Amino acid sequence: MSTPASDPGTGDADRELTMSRAMVDAIASEMRADDEVFYMGEDVQDYGGIFDSTEGLLDEFGRDRVVDAPISETAYVGAAVGAAQAGMRPIAEIMFADFVGVCLDQVYNQMAKNTYMSGGSFNVPMVLTTAVGGEYNDAAQHSQTLYGLFSHLPGMKVVVPSTAYDAKGLMHAAVRDDDPVVYMFHKRLMGIGWMPAPEGPKTPVPDEDYTVPLGEADVKREGEDATVVTLGLHVHRALDAADRLADDGTEVEVIDLRSLVPFDTETVLDSVEKTGRLVVVDEDYQSFGVTGEVIARVAERAPDALEAVERVAIPDVPIPYSRPLEKEVNPQVEDIVAAVESVE
Amino acid sequence: MVGVNTLREMYEQMVTARHYEERLQEEYLEGKQPAFDISAGPIPGELHLAAGHEAAAVGVCAHLDDDDTVTAPHRPHHVAIAKGVDLEKMTAEIFGRETGLCKGKGGHMHLFDPDVNFACSGIIAQGCPPAVGAAMAADKRNEDSVAVAYLGEGAVDQGAFLESLNLAAVQDLPVVFVVEDNDWAISMPQGRITDVDTIADRADGFDMPGVRVDHDDAVAVYEAARDAVGRARNGNGPTLLDVQVHRRMGHFMGDAEGYRPDADIERAKRLDSIERLADDLRDEEVGDDELDEIRSRAEERVEDAIEWAKDQPEPDAAAAHEDVFVDESTAASGGDD
Amino acid sequence: MIVDVDSESVWPADADDVDEAVVANWFVREGGAVDAGDTLCEIQIEKVSVDVTAPESGTLAERVVPENGEFRRDDVLARIETD
């Protein structure tokens, strides 16, 4: 197994947590520290969140601070915007990122723009959590990540943890941020009982609070021969691909973006200047998204360093239900290996 | 008064739907034990079964024909069966096969059958506007077909539903909204999220009748739907039907229902709309041997459909890139080849 | 002193007819320190997830059932070496 180049949680972190538990750990700690933090979404009370995002919070904080909302995203996401503008620190959850369509106005026209439109006299210190991702056969309306959509529209910060350590650190940072932060957690990485996670997201997690700064990518594996830039579930697939390629003598550097907005261009540039070969892997639609953005930034700033480039993403098709079809569209470990080999 | 042949047909569809859901549950759980893994087995992904909802489907669809449009939400099988969707192709779609209704691309939440004008979709309440649209088309063409939008009681707080009620009312469209009220929006009980005595009350603000049908009674649904569908066909506009049903299984397969009091689960199991209709049939002198015969026929039909489906081939990976547009002059951008 | 940890005390009442389960997640490494009451692992009995906590403080000496490993209701899951 690849060892993370940035080794988190050593020392006295004896506990390892699933990504969901680490996320909840941070939320609970922030709620203890500040009465103005509350969590609102569908099935977050007794159910503890469909993807375990609020497991155990109801018992500690009660129904006034862990709030089941009616199925009305426009109303409750918009209400979170209003509460944030009144100075509270709400965390509002869109159960599946795919549902943002229902309340997109409140997200991109209100939450993301009110700070700017008011000339900075208003700010929106809220967190918008949402479950993303597929490959468990939930079809076109329940499997998207929509990383590109949220990142493209100006005015909201966007983070995507791939490990428990990052999940806790990014949640602390997100809640304390005075700007709106979209916190996108991958369903397959949460460690849910009915959707087993792959190896990798469960990591040592310190007991005390700490932050992972927004806008900081993480080199999860060092290498000289090629750079793979990715996020979320595909960090772990890239690490698997790197192991296989190492057997053939190719050492791949895997960069986990962790933040889409703000974006850490420098870490990506440093790596491409070292390796010259860039592969970008994204579980979102190929055109007009993350892969194009990463490559454009490198092309703008270090065109001479870039010898070869390949992108691996979901093609521009809705995500199909049937197992062989979904595997065809969602980048697999083999696809990442092939992409690296093609830029060698 | 409902004719005995109509009662027989409704009964047969109800037992078909019930048996279908029970058999799908078995097929679904295969390969997912001992610890549940949602993506394993012959039917991967989410599965939302409608055992206990049958009366709402058969009582309404009894008044519809192939030209009438029905939209349904994520819990659609009973409605599809009552509407006459091709059972074999629907089953093959649920099993993700190439010869499924949607070539394996839609799955159980996205079943489209143009032959009987049936479609279902997974985003709560978003089936309402398209149903209003089908009604709008019928209206513009001066046809007498109607549209029916099914939704759960959890969906009535969603903007799409409220907007649909208004649009249908202001344009006097031939659409019936059928709310299946099973009291649970996944884990949220209706009383916690919606502030009305009954969902039928929602119609008050929208200038249409709101009719509550209690007791999971197929005959009562039939009678209420006869009025509602009749109104629509006669050009008298939309109706909101609020039908009480009981969810006998979890929200989705894998839902341990820890949030639901045992007494509530027990009650759902006791109040069986199918038994109730059987009693209505017995009152009409239909003997138990005939009921058994109907049941056997229904079970055989379900078994045949499942067997056929499981025999169908899986789709070719290349098919994933097709059907984005009907005009395929440009292929979808490559991803990983 | 070595203390055995099993799942008997947390086995849900409505899973009385079920005998098998899976260790879904371990949360402490072998050799890691635990306090009494700390969550050691998460077990999955069909669709239900339950946490198993440490009965005493000490060091997690052994994870007897590995992650994703199946076990029967009265099996020992782990051993703790008490302080």
pTM: 0.92
Residue A3 pLDDT > 50: no
Tally the domains of chain A. 2
Q: Is residue A11 in a domain? A: no
Q: Which residues contact A306 (CB under 8 A, 6 or more apart)?
A: A272, A276, A278, A298, A299
Q: Which of A98, A139, A329 sits opposite B110 (nearest CB)?
A: A139
Question: Hey, of A10, A12, A15, which one would you mutate to test binding to chain C, going by the most C CBs within 10 A of its CB?
Answer: A15
- Rounded to 5 degrees, φ, ψ at B72 are -135, 160
At A9 the pLDDT is: 42
Radius of gyration of chain B (CA): 20
If phi > 0 it is left, if psi is from -120 to 50 it is alpha, else beta; for residue A156 that is: beta
> Cα–Cα distance between B97 and B105 in angstroms, integer?
9
> Cα–Cα distance between B291 and B282 in angstroms, integer?
9
∠ CA(B300), CA(B303), CA(B308), 5° rounding? 125
Asked if A26 and A162 sit in the same domain, the reply is yes
> Cα–Cα distance between A119 and B75 in angstroms, integer?
47
A209's tokens: 């609070």
* Mean pLDDT of the C56-68 span: 94
* Mean pLDDT of the B252-266 span: 86
A309's tokens: 């480039």
Asked if A143 and A173 sit in the same domain, the reply is yes
Residue B313 pLDDT > 50: yes
Q: Is residue A128 in a domain? A: yes
pLDDT (tens digit, 9 = 90+) per residue, C12-35?
888 888 899 999 999 999 999 999
At A4 the pLDDT is: 40
> Using a CB-CB distance cutoff of 8 angstroms, which residues of chain C are in contact with residue A21?
27
Which other chains touch chain B, taking contact as 3+ CB pairs less than 8 Å apart?
A, C
Measure in Å the smallest separation between the Cα of B57 and chain A Cα atoms.
Answer: 23
Q: Do C33 and A202 touch (CB under 8 A)?
A: no
* Mean pLDDT of the A303-311 span: 97
Radius of gyration of chain A (CA): 19
- Rounded to 5 degrees, φ, ψ at A306 are -85, 105
> Cα–Cα distance between B2 and C30 in angstroms, integer?
70
Q: Do B255 and C44 touch (CB under 8 A)?
A: no
> Using a CB-CB distance cutoff of 8 angstroms, which residues of chain B are in contact with residue A58?
none
Better pLDDT: B334 or A111:
A111
> Cα–Cα distance between A160 and A151 in angstroms, integer?
11
Contact A329, A317 (CB under 8 A): yes
- The candidate with the shortest Cα–Cα distance to B173, out of B141, B151, B212, is B141
Domains of chain C, residue spans:
2-82
Contact A254, A2 (CB under 8 A): yes
Q: Do A328 and B109 touch (CB under 8 A)?
A: no
Asked if A152 and A181 sit in the same domain, the reply is yes
Q: Do B34 and C48 touch (CB under 8 A)?
A: no
Measure in Å the smallest separation between the Cα of A17 and chain C Cα atoms.
Answer: 6
* Mean pLDDT of the B209-224 span: 95
Closest chain C residue to B259 measured between Cα atoms? Answer: C48
pLDDT (tens digit, 9 = 90+) per residue, B78-137?
999 999 999 999 999 999 999 999 999 999 999 999 999 999 999 999 999 999 999 999
- Rounded to 5 degrees, φ, ψ at B96 are 75, 30
Q: Is residue A265 in a domain? A: yes
Q: Is residue A210 in a domain? A: no
**H or E stretch including B298?**
helix B288-310
pLDDT (tens digit, 9 = 90+) per residue, B190-207?
988 998 989 999 999 999
> Cα–Cα distance between C75 and C69 in angstroms, integer?
12
Asked if A186 and A224 sit in the same domain, the reply is no
Asked if A236 and A176 sit in the same domain, the reply is no
Active-site residue set of A: 142
Measure in Å the smallest separation between the Cα of B99 and chain A Cα atoms.
Answer: 11
DSSP-derived secondary structure for A11-36: SS--BEE-HHHHHHHHHHHHHHH-TT
Q: Do B110 and A320 touch (CB under 8 A)?
A: no
∠ CA(A217), CA(A223), CA(A224), 5° rounding? 115
> Cα–Cα distance between B162 and A287 in angstroms, integer?
35
A:C CB pairs within 8 Å: 32
At A12 the pLDDT is: 52
pLDDT band with cut points at 50, 70 and 90 for residue A117: very high
Q: ipTM, 2 decimals?
A: 0.89
Asked if A198 and A224 sit in the same domain, the reply is no
> CB-based contact (8 Å) between A105 and chain B?
no
Closest chain A residue to B319 measured between Cα atoms? Answer: A325
Q: What is the mean pLDDT of chain A?
A: 95
Q: Is residue A211 in a domain? A: no
| Least reliable range by pLDDT among A248-252, A283-287, B268-272 | B268-272
Q: Which residues contact A89 (CB under 8 A, 6 or more apart)?
A: A30, A34, A36, A37, A38, A125, A126, A127, A175
Question: Hey, of B30, B36, B187, B252, which one would you mutate to test binding to chain C, going by the most C CBs within 10 A of its CB?
Answer: B36
Q: Is residue A6 in a domain? A: no
At A74 the pLDDT is: 96
At A259 the pLDDT is: 98
Asked if A195 and A321 sit in the same domain, the reply is no
Closest chain B residue to C25 measured between Cα atoms? Answer: B35
Q: Do A196 and B193 touch (CB under 8 A)?
A: no
Highest mean pLDDT among A2-11, B293-302, C1-10: B293-302
pLDDT (tens digit, 9 = 90+) per residue, B30-72?
988 777 889 999 999 999 999 999 999 999 999 999 999 999 9
Q: Do A16 and C28 touch (CB under 8 A)?
A: yes
Asked if A83 and A181 sit in the same domain, the reply is yes
Number of Cβ within a 10 Å radius of residue C36: 12
Provide the residue count of chain C. Answer: 83
pLDDT (tens digit, 9 = 90+) per residue, B155-200?
999 999 999 999 999 999 999 999 999 988 999 989 889 989 899 9
* Mean pLDDT of the B266-290 span: 93
Asked if A281 and A181 sit in the same domain, the reply is no
| Least reliable range by pLDDT among A270-274, B4-8, B263-267 | B263-267
* Mean pLDDT of the A68-72 span: 96
Contact A242, A221 (CB under 8 A): yes
Domain containing residue A332: CATH number: 3.40.50.920
Closest chain C residue to A203 measured between Cα atoms? Answer: C27
- Tell me which fold the domain C2-82 belongs to: OB fold (Dihydrolipoamide Acetyltransferase, E2P) (2.40.50)
pLDDT band with cut points at 50, 70 and 90 for residue B336: very low
Asked if A176 and A245 sit in the same domain, the reply is no
- Rounded to 5 degrees, φ, ψ at C52 are -110, 125
> Cα–Cα distance between B245 and B53 in angstroms, integer?
5
At B270 the pLDDT is: 83
Q: Is residue A8 in a domain? A: no
Domain boundary among A175, A204, A233: A204
Of all residues in chain B, what percent carry a pLDDT higher than 90? Answer: 82
| Least reliable range by pLDDT among A142-151, A222-231, A247-256, B325-334 | B325-334
Range of the domain at A22: 16-204
* Mean pLDDT of the A58-83 span: 96
Provide the residue count of chain B. Answer: 337
Domain containing residue A155: CATH number: 3.40.50.970
* C 17-76 → B contacts, CB under 8 A: 20-22, 24, 44, 46-48, 70
pLDDT (tens digit, 9 = 90+) per residue, A197-241?
999 999 999 999 999 999 999 999 999 999 999 999 999 999 999
Helix (H, G, I), strand (E, B) or coil at A70: coil
Question: Hey, of A10, A16, A55, A205, which one would you mutate to test binding to chain C, going by the most C CBs within 10 A of its CB?
Answer: A16
* Mean pLDDT of the A4-31 span: 78
Q: Which of A71, A196, A321 sits opposite B45 (nearest CB)?
A: A321
pLDDT (tens digit, 9 = 90+) per residue, C33-57?
999 999 999 998 887 889 999 999 9
pLDDT band with cut points at 50, 70 and 90 for residue B332: low
> Cα–Cα distance between A332 and A247 in angstroms, integer?
18
Measure in Å the smallest separation between the Cα of C10 and chain A Cα atoms.
Answer: 16
* Mean pLDDT of the A256-265 span: 98
